[in-house]
């Protein structure tokens, strides 16, 4: 992290020489957070946006400087049953956001004037107060306008997507044991001769993303998921655009959808080499509150490692067929544009729905 660039700068700002003289932005867990159904990248995206809030002090960096983002130490739903005596927090899987500790922040139980608790992400607060807590009743975040203000770079007209990608990458820094597991899974899945420039990525997001999905503890669907034929049409469009395409990477948390699509690909494009995530749990939901309940014999760690392996596999593609309202598939496209192995990333969005994050995935803006 000391190598520079946006990641190096974030690391430096998050790890001050003297935590006792720093200001803090504390990301509080939700009330009844053990039932929080947000998935892996929904958490990552929220964490990245909270990080940008802290670094810019809610768009007031010029007057008040930065804050250090730190999380509380409550249970993180996807870390239930964390192996090896690791804490059941995000630090089960990922490096700390900061080397500062909760003992460095102002305890809200003490009732003094050194802290404030935001009622909503848009709530204003006194920037001179040392410690600010996020609302325990709102799972989302404040959009930040001047996201480069804290970097020391002139102006604020640099790539917004590059900054968001760096913040997400910082959030998702895996622990050493998880890095080792990801490398093992990636090496088992990716052929040595794979050429990213000749590869299509199809991360199929279905199950709890689709209206009509009902599984206990899983989020209710939020969009009309397109038929698998639309994914196939996207692959066909790319093959017409670039006849040199050789490979298609297919992943999904939904096993039945993945198997059905693979059959369609093999029938329609028998010369394409299909690449899958070897050992993928495919738990049937992207929700994070009851992952351990969906696949017998699998631990939450298996699900998280499987998901992150799928993301890293797709970084080896140049062309993508996605549904961009899914934070998961949008994040894959965003990370591929910034940290992928191919250049000139192309994306076909087959979903009828979109959100404010989708434009990064679709246009690379």
Taking only the tens place, the pLDDT of each residue in 296-343 is 656 888 889 999 999 999 999 999 999 988 889 999 999 999 999 999
Q: How many Å apart are CA 244 and CA 337, to the nearest integer?
A: 20
- The H or E element that residue 233 is part of is helix 228-241
Q: How many Å apart are CA 343 and CA 77, to the nearest integer?
A: 36
Indicate the pTM of the whole model.
0.92
Q: In what order do the strands lie in the sheet with 319-322?
A: 273-275, 247-252, 199-204, 319-322, 346-349
Alpha-carbon dihedral angle through residues 251, 257, 263, 266, given to the nearest 10 degrees: -30
| pLDDT reported for residue 359 | 85
Per-residue pLDDT for 85 more than 90? Answer: no
Tokens of residue 2, six digits = 């000391």
Q: Residues 5-40: pLDDT tens digits? A: 999 999 999 999 999 999 999 999 988 888 887 889
Computed over every residue of the chain, the mean pLDDT equals 89
Instruction: Say if residue 297 is exposed, middle or buried (CB neighbours under 10 Å; 0-12, 13-18, 19+).
Output: exposed
Residue, of 170 and 285, whose pLDDT is higher? 170
| Least confident piece of the model among 122-136, 185-199, 287-301 | 287-301
Q: Kindly report the length of the chain.
A: 365
Strands 24-27 and 131-133, sheet pairing: parallel
Instruction: Say if residue 191 is exposed, middle or buried (CB neighbours under 10 Å; 0-12, 13-18, 19+).
Output: exposed
| Least confident piece of the model among 106-110, 160-164, 169-173 | 106-110
Beta strands in 63-143 (DSSP E): 68-71, 115-117, 131-133
DSSP letter string, 291-305? GGGTSTT--HHHHHH
Nearest to 301 by CA among 139, 36, 98, 90: 90
| pLDDT reported for residue 149 | 96
| Least confident piece of the model among 162-166, 283-287, 296-300 | 283-287
Secondary structure of residue 210 in the 3-state scheme:
strand
**Rg (alpha carbons) of the chain, rounded to whole number:** 21
Nearest to 291 by CA among 133, 143, 93: 93
**What domains are defined for the chain?**
5-171 (no CATH), 176-363 (3.40.50.11350)
Instruction: Output phi, psi for 92, to 5 deg.
Output: -60, -40
């Amino acid at each position: 992290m000391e190598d520079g660039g946006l990641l190096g700068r974030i690391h430096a700002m998050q790890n001050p020489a003297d935590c006792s003289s720093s200001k803090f932005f504390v990301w509080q867990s939700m009330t009844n957070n053990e039932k929080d159904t947000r998935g892996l990248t929904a958490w990552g995206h929220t964490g990245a946006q909270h990080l940008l809030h802290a670094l810019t002090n809610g768009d007031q960096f010029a007057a008040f400087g930065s804050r250090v983002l730190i999380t509380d130490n409550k249970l993180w739903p996807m870390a239930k049953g964390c192996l090896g005596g690791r804490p059941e927090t995000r630090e089960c899987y990922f490096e700390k956001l900061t080397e500062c500790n909760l003992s460095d922040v102002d305890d809200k139980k003490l009732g003094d004037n050194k802290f404030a608790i935001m009622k909503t992400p848009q709530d204003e607060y006194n920037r001179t107060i040392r410690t600010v807590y996020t609302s325990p009743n709102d799972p989302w975040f404040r959009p930040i306008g001047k996201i480069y203000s804290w970097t020391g770079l002139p102006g604020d007209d640099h790539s917004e997507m590059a900054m968001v990608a760096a913040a997400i990458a910082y959030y998702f820094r895996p622990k050493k044991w998880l890095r080792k597991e990801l490398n093992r899974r990636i090496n088992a899945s990716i052929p040595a001769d794979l050429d990213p420039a000749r590869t299509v990525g199809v991360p199929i997001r279905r199950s709890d993303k689709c209206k009509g999905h009902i599984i206990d503890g899983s989020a209710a669907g939020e969009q009309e998921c397109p038929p698998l034929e639309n994914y196939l049409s996207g692959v066909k469009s790319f093959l017409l655009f670039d006849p040199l395409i050789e490979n298609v990477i297919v992943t999904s948390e939904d096993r039945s959808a993945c198997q059905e699509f693979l059959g369609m690909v093999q029938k329609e494009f028998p010369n394409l080499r299909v690449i899958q995530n070897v050992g993928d749990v495919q738990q049937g939901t992207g929700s994070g509150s009851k992952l351990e309940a969906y696949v017998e014999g699998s631990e939450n760690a298996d699900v998280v490692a499987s998901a992150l392996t799928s993301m890293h596999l797709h970084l080896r593609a140049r062309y993508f067929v996605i549904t961009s309202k899914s934070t998961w598939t949008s994040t894959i496209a965003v990370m591929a544009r910034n940290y992928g192995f191919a250049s000139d990333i192309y994306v076909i969005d087959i979903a009828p729905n979109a959100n404010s994050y989708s434009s990064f995935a679709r246009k690379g803006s």
